Amino acid sequence: MEFCFFLFLFLSFYSYIIYPICLFAAARITSRKWIQEDFLPIVSVVISAYNEEGVIEEKLLNTIALDYPDDLVEIFVSSDGSTDRTNSIVTNIGDPRVLLRAFPERTGKTACLNMVVPMAHGEVILFTDANSMFSQDQLKKIVRNFASPDVGLVTGWTSYRDITGEVQSPGLYARSERLTKQLESQISSCVGADGAVFAMRKQLYQSLQKYDINDFVIPLNVIKQGKRVVIDPEVFCLEPTAPGAKKEYRRQVRITTRTLGAIGRNLTLLNPFLFGSFSFFLFSHKVMRFLMPFFLILTFAINLVLLKGSAIYKITLAAQLAIVLIGIGSMVGLRMGWIGDVAKFLLVTLSAQFIAWFRTFAGISDTIWTPQR
Protein backbone atom coordinates (compact mmCIF):
# COMPACT_ATOMS: atom_id res chain seq x y z
CA MET A 1 0.00 0.00 0.00
CA GLU A 2 2.84 2.39 0.78
CA PHE A 3 4.45 1.63 -2.57
CA CYS A 4 1.14 2.30 -4.35
CA PHE A 5 0.71 5.56 -2.45
CA PHE A 6 4.06 6.96 -3.55
CA LEU A 7 3.63 5.58 -7.06
CA PHE A 8 0.29 7.36 -7.57
CA LEU A 9 1.68 10.48 -5.90
CA PHE A 10 4.55 10.44 -8.40
CA LEU A 11 2.17 9.90 -11.31
CA SER A 12 0.00 12.78 -10.08
CA PHE A 13 2.92 15.20 -10.30
CA TYR A 14 4.47 13.66 -13.40
CA SER A 15 2.93 15.74 -16.19
CA TYR A 16 3.30 19.14 -14.54
CA ILE A 17 6.65 18.72 -12.77
CA ILE A 18 8.60 15.54 -13.60
CA TYR A 19 7.97 15.67 -17.35
CA PRO A 20 9.21 19.28 -17.84
CA ILE A 21 12.35 18.41 -15.87
CA CYS A 22 12.95 15.43 -18.18
CA LEU A 23 12.42 17.69 -21.19
CA PHE A 24 14.90 20.25 -19.87
CA ALA A 25 17.55 17.58 -19.45
CA ALA A 26 16.85 16.07 -22.88
CA ALA A 27 16.95 19.48 -24.59
CA ARG A 28 20.43 20.08 -23.17
CA ILE A 29 21.62 16.85 -24.79
CA THR A 30 19.81 17.02 -28.12
CA SER A 31 18.46 20.16 -29.72
CA ARG A 32 17.24 20.59 -33.31
CA LYS A 33 17.16 24.26 -34.17
CA TRP A 34 15.17 25.41 -37.17
CA ILE A 35 15.87 28.27 -39.56
CA GLN A 36 14.35 31.68 -38.83
CA GLU A 37 15.01 34.27 -41.52
CA ASP A 38 13.21 36.80 -43.73
CA PHE A 39 10.55 34.99 -45.71
CA LEU A 40 7.59 36.60 -47.45
CA PRO A 41 5.11 34.05 -48.83
CA ILE A 42 1.51 34.85 -49.67
CA VAL A 43 -0.45 34.57 -46.41
CA SER A 44 -4.17 33.91 -45.98
CA VAL A 45 -5.47 35.02 -42.60
CA VAL A 46 -8.57 33.10 -41.54
CA ILE A 47 -10.61 34.74 -38.76
CA SER A 48 -13.26 32.50 -37.22
CA ALA A 49 -16.32 34.42 -36.05
CA TYR A 50 -19.78 33.90 -34.61
CA ASN A 51 -21.79 36.98 -33.58
CA GLU A 52 -18.68 39.12 -33.10
CA GLU A 53 -20.14 42.56 -33.83
CA GLY A 54 -18.44 43.93 -30.72
CA VAL A 55 -14.88 43.10 -31.81
CA ILE A 56 -14.81 42.23 -35.52
CA GLU A 57 -14.09 45.78 -36.75
CA GLU A 58 -11.18 46.16 -34.32
CA LYS A 59 -9.88 42.75 -35.38
CA LEU A 60 -10.00 43.60 -39.09
CA LEU A 61 -8.33 46.98 -38.61
CA ASN A 62 -5.69 45.28 -36.48
CA THR A 63 -5.05 42.67 -39.20
CA ILE A 64 -4.99 45.23 -42.01
CA ALA A 65 -2.36 47.23 -40.09
CA LEU A 66 0.08 44.29 -39.86
CA ASP A 67 3.52 45.08 -41.25
CA TYR A 68 3.44 42.90 -44.37
CA PRO A 69 3.23 43.67 -48.12
CA ASP A 70 -0.39 44.41 -49.05
CA ASP A 71 -0.27 42.29 -52.19
CA LEU A 72 0.84 39.24 -50.20
CA VAL A 73 -2.05 39.14 -47.72
CA GLU A 74 -5.70 38.15 -48.00
CA ILE A 75 -8.08 38.11 -45.04
CA PHE A 76 -11.00 35.72 -44.78
CA VAL A 77 -13.72 36.10 -42.17
CA SER A 78 -15.34 32.71 -41.63
CA SER A 79 -18.74 33.63 -40.21
CA ASP A 80 -20.45 30.58 -38.75
CA GLY A 81 -24.14 31.46 -39.02
CA SER A 82 -23.79 34.88 -37.38
CA THR A 83 -27.14 36.54 -36.69
CA ASP A 84 -25.94 39.94 -35.49
CA ARG A 85 -24.17 42.74 -37.44
CA THR A 86 -20.91 40.80 -37.92
CA ASN A 87 -21.40 40.18 -41.65
CA SER A 88 -22.43 43.75 -42.49
CA ILE A 89 -19.47 45.20 -40.59
CA VAL A 90 -17.10 42.97 -42.56
CA THR A 91 -18.60 43.91 -45.95
CA ASN A 92 -18.37 47.62 -45.10
CA ILE A 93 -14.75 47.57 -43.95
CA GLY A 94 -13.60 49.02 -47.29
CA ASP A 95 -10.49 46.93 -47.95
CA PRO A 96 -10.42 44.65 -51.03
CA ARG A 97 -8.23 42.15 -49.20
CA VAL A 98 -11.03 41.41 -46.72
CA LEU A 99 -13.25 38.57 -47.92
CA LEU A 100 -16.40 37.42 -46.14
CA ARG A 101 -17.40 33.78 -46.19
CA ALA A 102 -20.76 33.77 -44.44
CA PHE A 103 -22.46 30.43 -43.80
CA PRO A 104 -26.23 30.69 -43.32
CA GLU A 105 -26.50 27.99 -40.65
CA ARG A 106 -24.19 27.11 -37.78
CA THR A 107 -22.09 24.07 -38.53
CA GLY A 108 -19.21 24.62 -36.11
CA LYS A 109 -15.81 26.29 -36.44
CA THR A 110 -14.06 23.20 -37.77
CA ALA A 111 -16.64 22.51 -40.48
CA CYS A 112 -16.32 26.13 -41.65
CA LEU A 113 -12.53 25.83 -41.87
CA ASN A 114 -12.93 22.83 -44.17
CA MET A 115 -14.87 25.07 -46.57
CA VAL A 116 -12.76 28.23 -46.26
CA VAL A 117 -9.19 26.87 -46.44
CA PRO A 118 -9.57 25.44 -50.00
CA MET A 119 -10.60 28.96 -51.15
CA ALA A 120 -7.38 30.49 -49.81
CA HIS A 121 -4.54 31.38 -52.17
CA GLY A 122 -1.84 31.67 -49.52
CA GLU A 123 1.12 29.37 -49.19
CA VAL A 124 0.71 29.90 -45.46
CA ILE A 125 -2.62 29.96 -43.60
CA LEU A 126 -2.82 31.91 -40.33
CA PHE A 127 -5.71 30.88 -38.08
CA THR A 128 -6.93 33.32 -35.46
CA ASP A 129 -10.01 34.39 -33.49
CA ALA A 130 -12.08 37.56 -33.68
CA ASN A 131 -11.01 38.85 -30.26
CA SER A 132 -7.28 38.08 -30.67
CA MET A 133 -5.15 41.14 -31.47
CA PHE A 134 -1.60 41.22 -32.87
CA SER A 135 1.26 43.70 -32.67
CA GLN A 136 2.33 45.00 -36.10
CA ASP A 137 5.37 42.74 -36.44
CA GLN A 138 3.64 39.48 -35.61
CA LEU A 139 2.93 38.24 -39.13
CA LYS A 140 6.58 38.53 -40.17
CA LYS A 141 7.63 36.79 -36.96
CA ILE A 142 5.25 33.92 -37.66
CA VAL A 143 6.23 33.31 -41.28
CA ARG A 144 9.99 33.59 -40.68
CA ASN A 145 9.82 30.10 -39.19
CA PHE A 146 8.66 28.65 -42.51
CA ALA A 147 12.05 29.47 -44.00
CA SER A 148 12.94 26.11 -42.48
CA PRO A 149 11.61 23.45 -44.88
CA ASP A 150 10.99 20.90 -42.12
CA VAL A 151 8.61 23.22 -40.23
CA GLY A 152 4.97 22.63 -41.14
CA LEU A 153 3.14 24.54 -38.41
CA VAL A 154 4.02 27.41 -36.08
CA THR A 155 2.10 28.44 -32.99
CA GLY A 156 2.41 31.17 -30.40
CA TRP A 157 0.73 31.93 -27.10
CA THR A 158 -2.01 34.15 -25.70
CA SER A 159 -1.49 37.07 -23.35
CA TYR A 160 -4.37 38.76 -21.55
CA ARG A 161 -5.26 42.38 -20.88
CA ASP A 162 -7.73 43.75 -18.32
CA ILE A 163 -10.58 46.17 -18.97
CA THR A 164 -8.17 49.12 -18.76
CA GLY A 165 -6.05 47.60 -21.52
CA GLU A 166 -3.12 46.81 -19.23
CA VAL A 167 -1.38 43.55 -20.11
CA GLN A 168 -1.45 41.04 -17.27
CA SER A 169 1.55 38.96 -16.26
CA PRO A 170 1.14 35.32 -17.34
CA GLY A 171 0.22 32.93 -14.55
CA LEU A 172 2.34 30.02 -13.34
CA TYR A 173 0.48 27.51 -15.52
CA ALA A 174 0.76 29.66 -18.66
CA ARG A 175 4.50 30.12 -18.15
CA SER A 176 4.99 26.41 -17.49
CA GLU A 177 2.96 25.41 -20.55
CA ARG A 178 4.88 27.78 -22.81
CA LEU A 179 8.23 26.52 -21.51
CA THR A 180 7.14 22.90 -21.99
CA LYS A 181 6.20 23.56 -25.62
CA GLN A 182 9.46 25.40 -26.22
CA LEU A 183 11.45 22.43 -24.93
CA GLU A 184 9.37 19.99 -27.00
CA SER A 185 9.96 22.14 -30.08
CA GLN A 186 13.71 22.20 -29.51
CA ILE A 187 13.78 18.39 -29.53
CA SER A 188 11.22 17.65 -32.26
CA SER A 189 7.61 18.94 -32.16
CA CYS A 190 5.36 20.48 -29.53
CA VAL A 191 1.97 19.05 -28.60
CA GLY A 192 -0.96 21.10 -29.89
CA ALA A 193 -1.31 24.75 -30.90
CA ASP A 194 -2.88 27.88 -29.46
CA GLY A 195 -6.19 28.22 -31.33
CA ALA A 196 -5.95 32.03 -31.28
CA VAL A 197 -2.65 32.16 -33.16
CA PHE A 198 -1.17 29.40 -35.31
CA ALA A 199 -0.11 29.13 -38.93
CA MET A 200 0.60 26.23 -41.27
CA ARG A 201 1.62 25.44 -44.82
CA LYS A 202 -1.61 25.22 -46.79
CA GLN A 203 -0.46 22.10 -48.67
CA LEU A 204 -0.46 20.20 -45.35
CA TYR A 205 -4.08 20.97 -44.48
CA GLN A 206 -6.28 17.89 -44.39
CA SER A 207 -10.06 17.99 -44.12
CA LEU A 208 -11.22 17.51 -40.54
CA GLN A 209 -14.23 15.78 -39.03
CA LYS A 210 -16.75 18.31 -37.73
CA TYR A 211 -16.17 17.12 -34.15
CA ASP A 212 -12.36 17.54 -34.36
CA ILE A 213 -10.74 20.17 -32.16
CA ASN A 214 -8.85 22.00 -34.90
CA ASP A 215 -5.96 23.45 -32.87
CA PHE A 216 -5.05 19.96 -31.66
CA VAL A 217 -5.89 17.74 -34.65
CA ILE A 218 -4.36 20.00 -37.33
CA PRO A 219 -0.92 19.82 -35.64
CA LEU A 220 -1.30 16.03 -35.33
CA ASN A 221 -2.01 15.80 -39.06
CA VAL A 222 1.07 17.91 -39.81
CA ILE A 223 3.25 15.59 -37.74
CA LYS A 224 1.78 12.55 -39.50
CA GLN A 225 3.03 14.08 -42.76
CA GLY A 226 6.59 14.23 -41.44
CA LYS A 227 6.80 17.96 -40.67
CA ARG A 228 7.57 19.71 -37.39
CA VAL A 229 5.19 21.68 -35.17
CA VAL A 230 7.00 24.39 -33.20
CA ILE A 231 6.25 27.29 -30.91
CA ASP A 232 7.93 30.65 -31.47
CA PRO A 233 8.04 32.37 -28.05
CA GLU A 234 8.04 35.78 -29.76
CA VAL A 235 4.69 35.05 -31.43
CA PHE A 236 1.68 35.99 -29.32
CA CYS A 237 -1.73 37.63 -29.38
CA LEU A 238 -3.62 39.79 -26.90
CA GLU A 239 -7.12 38.93 -25.66
CA PRO A 240 -9.43 40.29 -22.95
CA THR A 241 -8.82 38.84 -19.52
CA ALA A 242 -9.46 35.13 -19.09
CA PRO A 243 -13.00 34.06 -18.02
CA GLY A 244 -13.96 33.37 -14.40
CA ALA A 245 -13.84 29.95 -12.76
CA LYS A 246 -17.33 28.91 -13.88
CA LYS A 247 -16.76 29.73 -17.56
CA GLU A 248 -13.25 28.30 -17.42
CA TYR A 249 -14.64 25.05 -16.03
CA ARG A 250 -17.10 24.75 -18.93
CA ARG A 251 -14.35 25.57 -21.41
CA GLN A 252 -12.06 22.94 -19.92
CA VAL A 253 -14.80 20.29 -20.00
CA ARG A 254 -15.41 20.98 -23.69
CA ILE A 255 -11.72 21.11 -24.64
CA THR A 256 -10.81 17.97 -22.70
CA THR A 257 -13.77 16.02 -24.11
CA ARG A 258 -12.78 16.90 -27.66
CA THR A 259 -9.07 16.29 -27.05
CA LEU A 260 -9.70 12.85 -25.52
CA GLY A 261 -11.76 11.94 -28.58
CA ALA A 262 -8.98 13.17 -30.87
CA ILE A 263 -6.34 11.12 -29.05
CA GLY A 264 -8.56 8.04 -29.32
CA ARG A 265 -8.81 8.54 -33.09
CA ASN A 266 -5.03 9.07 -33.44
CA LEU A 267 -3.60 6.31 -31.28
CA THR A 268 -0.90 5.52 -33.84
CA LEU A 269 0.84 8.73 -32.78
CA LEU A 270 1.59 7.04 -29.44
CA ASN A 271 3.82 4.53 -31.26
CA PRO A 272 7.44 5.65 -30.69
CA PHE A 273 8.67 3.35 -33.46
CA LEU A 274 6.71 5.49 -35.93
CA PHE A 275 6.86 8.97 -34.38
CA GLY A 276 9.87 8.88 -32.08
CA SER A 277 10.08 11.45 -29.30
CA PHE A 278 6.72 13.01 -30.18
CA SER A 279 4.96 9.85 -29.00
CA PHE A 280 6.57 10.34 -25.58
CA PHE A 281 5.57 14.02 -25.62
CA LEU A 282 1.94 13.26 -26.49
CA PHE A 283 1.69 10.56 -23.80
CA SER A 284 3.33 12.71 -21.12
CA HIS A 285 1.80 16.08 -22.01
CA LYS A 286 -1.77 14.97 -22.66
CA VAL A 287 -2.56 11.37 -21.69
CA MET A 288 -0.84 11.45 -18.30
CA ARG A 289 -2.25 14.91 -17.58
CA PHE A 290 -5.79 13.79 -18.30
CA LEU A 291 -5.31 10.75 -16.04
CA MET A 292 -4.26 12.97 -13.14
CA PRO A 293 -7.76 13.13 -11.50
CA PHE A 294 -7.75 9.35 -11.13
CA PHE A 295 -4.19 9.29 -9.79
CA LEU A 296 -5.13 11.87 -7.16
CA ILE A 297 -8.30 10.01 -6.15
CA LEU A 298 -6.29 6.82 -5.67
CA THR A 299 -3.60 8.71 -3.75
CA PHE A 300 -6.24 10.16 -1.41
CA ALA A 301 -7.99 6.80 -0.90
CA ILE A 302 -4.75 4.98 -0.07
CA ASN A 303 -3.73 7.86 2.20
CA LEU A 304 -6.88 7.26 4.26
CA VAL A 305 -6.00 3.58 4.63
CA LEU A 306 -2.47 4.44 5.77
CA LEU A 307 -3.48 7.01 8.40
CA LYS A 308 -2.87 4.61 11.27
CA GLY A 309 0.73 4.15 10.17
CA SER A 310 3.48 6.75 10.05
CA ALA A 311 2.73 10.37 10.94
CA ILE A 312 3.84 11.32 7.43
CA TYR A 313 0.49 10.11 6.09
CA LYS A 314 -1.35 12.49 8.40
CA ILE A 315 0.77 15.31 6.98
CA THR A 316 0.13 14.30 3.35
CA LEU A 317 -3.62 14.04 4.01
CA ALA A 318 -3.66 17.44 5.66
CA ALA A 319 -1.77 18.89 2.68
CA GLN A 320 -4.33 17.48 0.23
CA LEU A 321 -7.25 18.85 2.23
CA ALA A 322 -5.51 22.22 2.57
CA ILE A 323 -5.09 22.51 -1.20
CA VAL A 324 -8.80 21.84 -1.69
CA LEU A 325 -9.80 24.42 0.94
CA ILE A 326 -7.39 27.04 -0.42
CA GLY A 327 -8.72 26.44 -3.94
CA ILE A 328 -12.32 26.85 -2.80
CA GLY A 329 -11.40 30.01 -0.92
CA SER A 330 -9.73 31.43 -4.01
CA MET A 331 -12.77 30.56 -6.14
CA VAL A 332 -15.12 32.49 -3.82
CA GLY A 333 -12.93 35.57 -4.00
CA LEU A 334 -10.54 35.28 -1.05
CA ARG A 335 -7.04 36.52 -1.79
CA MET A 336 -4.69 33.57 -1.39
CA GLY A 337 -1.72 34.71 -3.49
CA TRP A 338 -0.06 32.43 -6.03
CA ILE A 339 -0.82 29.36 -3.93
CA GLY A 340 -4.52 30.17 -4.19
CA ASP A 341 -4.23 30.62 -7.95
CA VAL A 342 -2.53 27.24 -8.33
CA ALA A 343 -5.04 25.51 -6.07
CA LYS A 344 -7.98 27.07 -7.93
CA PHE A 345 -6.49 26.06 -11.26
CA LEU A 346 -6.09 22.47 -10.07
CA LEU A 347 -9.66 22.26 -8.74
CA VAL A 348 -11.21 23.68 -11.91
CA THR A 349 -9.01 21.70 -14.30
CA LEU A 350 -9.13 18.35 -12.52
CA SER A 351 -12.90 18.44 -11.97
CA ALA A 352 -13.39 19.37 -15.64
CA GLN A 353 -11.13 16.53 -16.78
CA PHE A 354 -12.95 14.05 -14.56
CA ILE A 355 -16.32 14.99 -16.09
CA ALA A 356 -14.82 14.99 -19.58
CA TRP A 357 -13.85 11.32 -19.22
CA PHE A 358 -17.46 10.36 -18.52
CA ARG A 359 -18.70 12.49 -21.42
CA THR A 360 -16.15 10.80 -23.69
CA PHE A 361 -17.25 7.30 -22.68
CA ALA A 362 -20.86 8.41 -23.20
CA GLY A 363 -20.03 9.42 -26.77
CA ILE A 364 -20.69 13.12 -26.22
CA SER A 365 -18.86 15.56 -28.50
CA ASP A 366 -19.05 19.35 -28.71
CA THR A 367 -19.23 20.35 -32.35
CA ILE A 368 -20.83 23.76 -31.86
CA TRP A 369 -20.45 26.17 -28.95
CA THR A 370 -20.88 29.87 -28.29
CA PRO A 371 -17.71 31.87 -27.55
CA GLN A 372 -17.75 33.45 -24.08
CA ARG A 373 -17.27 37.20 -24.57
What are the chain's domains? Answer: 1-28+263-373 (no CATH), 43-242 (3.90.550.10)
Q: Write down the pTM of the prediction.
A: 0.94
Partners of 197 in beta bridges? 128
Q: Please compute the mean of the pLDDT values over residues 337-362 and round it to a whole number.
A: 93
Q: Where in 224-273 does DSSP place strands (E)? A: 228-240
Percentage of the chain exceeding pLDDT 90: 86
Helix H, strand E, coil C: the string for 42-88 is CEEEEEEECCCCCCHHHHHHHHHCCCCCHHHEEEEEEEECCCCCHHH
Residue 160 · residue 237 · CB < 8 Å: no
pLDDT band of 95, cuts 50, 70, 90: very high
pLDDT in tens, 235-286: 999 998 867 788 889 999 999 999 999 999 999 999 999 999 999 999 999 9
- Using alpha carbons, list the distances in angstroms from residue 272 to 91, 189, 254, 314: 49, 13, 28, 41
Nearest to 76 by CA among 104, 134, 111, 115: 115
pLDDT in tens, 174-184: 899 999 999 99
| Length of the chain in terms of residues written | 373
pLDDT at 34 over 90: yes
Coil, strand, or helix at residue 314?
Answer: helix
**pLDDT, position 165:** 64
pLDDT at 363 over 70: yes
**pLDDT, position 176:** 93
Give kind and range of the element (H or E) at residue 309: none
Mean pLDDT for all residues in the chain: 94
CB contact set of 352 (below 8 Å; sequence gap of 6+)? 249, 250, 252, 253, 256
